[in-house]
Structure 1
Amino acid sequence: MDEAAKGETTEPALLRRARRGDETAFEALYHGHARAIHALAFRLTGDAAAAEDIVQDTFLRMFGFLSGLREDTPLRPWLKRVAANLAIDRLRRGRHHADDDALLHALDDGPSPATVAEADGLLRRLPPVARTLVWLHEMEGWSHEELAHRFGRSPSWSKSILSRSLSRLRGHLEPGTGNERS
């Protein structure tokens, strides 16, 4: 390969090179997006090891789907969608949301801010499914219909969990809302 082609570092050029089997191009794509994908996966799962697995699986899927990726479309949204779907699959396999009553109870009667380590952050106070719904809806822009479809539930299920989750988060932020426990 000539030096001019190896010097191309734009995302479309890297995709073209990766399709031709250029390992350094694939590596450059990985290094350009891995941290953001890991951050999303960690936010959704709350588990560093699971997040690392999701990053690896996401890039393996990208590698297997290189020919289908469009050069004129940014890669990161596709990677984020794959990573979010992998995180949801983990939650579904783990049956973290099998008992809706338990999930709703956890949202209503979860630990108070005083008993949760501040380093874990506000979202970590939510059960995994609730945390995932909040992040994907509020930060990634997924609709209730998309969430419901992906979780195999109804849009009203998504709306209910999201509403309770946001209410709980507001309660943690607003002093004197009655969420304090002794």
Structure 2
Amino acid sequence: MSDPSDAKDDEAQLVRRARRGQEAAFAEIYRRHARAIHSLALRLTGNHATAEDITQECFLKMLQFLGGLRDGTPLRPWLKRVAANAAIDRIRRDRRLVAIEDDDTQPANGSDPLLHAESLGLLRRLSPTERTVVWLHAMEGWSHPELGRRFGRSESWSKSIVSRTLARLRLELDEAHPHDNE
């Protein structure tokens, strides 16, 4: 079994090689992280084309800032933050994004495929803003103050979005499965 620190060292070597302009190193970084970044962007925007654009923007931004990243900094959290910020910018700019089929996103290893399908169905019911705020808070660990600042709103706005959205989803689930509560 490989040591997790080996993977971190390996990624640090890839970053150093990419900084020196080695295309193969950048390609390997892209191969390792693009799917996760695309999945996050798709979940946040609900739009395949937008998710693809955000993924590309994210890696282009990484190329620009590669020299400024601290050695040993894991790339995925940084890339996810860049992708989330890009998705928020798109949502703020274009409130007309609509949810679409995103069945090609993969469930977490070992998760129940039926639960995955139901959760995707729930995400599709949300507006882009609701989906983004709830996902970033619940799944990516963003705080309410961070979300409020990033959306140009207050901390209480973020709390309210999460609270109302989760309450509405719970109600919809209770209505869809009335016997589960007995």
1:139-150 → structure 2 map (5 Å cutoff): 139-150=139-150
SS of residue paired to 2:21: coil
2:95/2:128 contact within 8 Å kept? no
Match of 2:70, SS state, is coil
Bigger radius of gyration among the two? 1
Q: TM-score, normalised by structure 2?
A: 0.77
* Structure 2 equivalent of residue 19 of structure 1: 19
Q: Any unmatched runs of 5+ in structure 2?
A: 1-8, 97-116
C-alpha root-mean-square deviation of aligned residues, in Å? 2.2
SS at match of 1:10: helix
1:94 Cα deviation from its structure 2 partner: 1.0
Provide runs of 4+ in structure 1 moved above 6 Å: none
CA distance in 1, matches of 2:49, 2:151: 22
Name the CA distance, whole Å, in 2 between partners of 1:67 and 1:128: 33
Instruction: Give the drift of 1:119.
Output: 9.3
Shift of 1:124: 1.1
- 1:134 alignment counterpart: 134
Q: What is the DSSP-based 3-state SS (H/G/I as helix, E as strand, rest coil) of the residue aligned with 1:153?
A: coil
Counterpart-to-counterpart distance in 1, 2:135 and 2:173: 17
Matching of residues 1-182 of structure 1 within 5 Å: 10-95=10-95, 121-175=121-175
Q: Distance in 2 between matches of 1:176 and 1:27?
A: 45
Query: What is the Cα deviation at residue 121 of structure 1?
Result: 1.7
User: Which blocks of at least 5 consecutive residues in structure 1 are unaligned?
Assistant: 1-8, 97-116
Residue 120 of structure 1 and its aligned partner are, at CA, apart by: 5.2
CA distance in 1, matches of 2:119, 2:175: 19
* Number of equivalenced pairs: 151
Instruction: Check the 8 A contact 1:147/1:155 in 2, yes or no.
Output: yes
Q: Distance in 1 between matches of 2:134 and 2:118?
A: 19
- Aligned mates of 1:65, 1:44 — CA distance in 2: 24
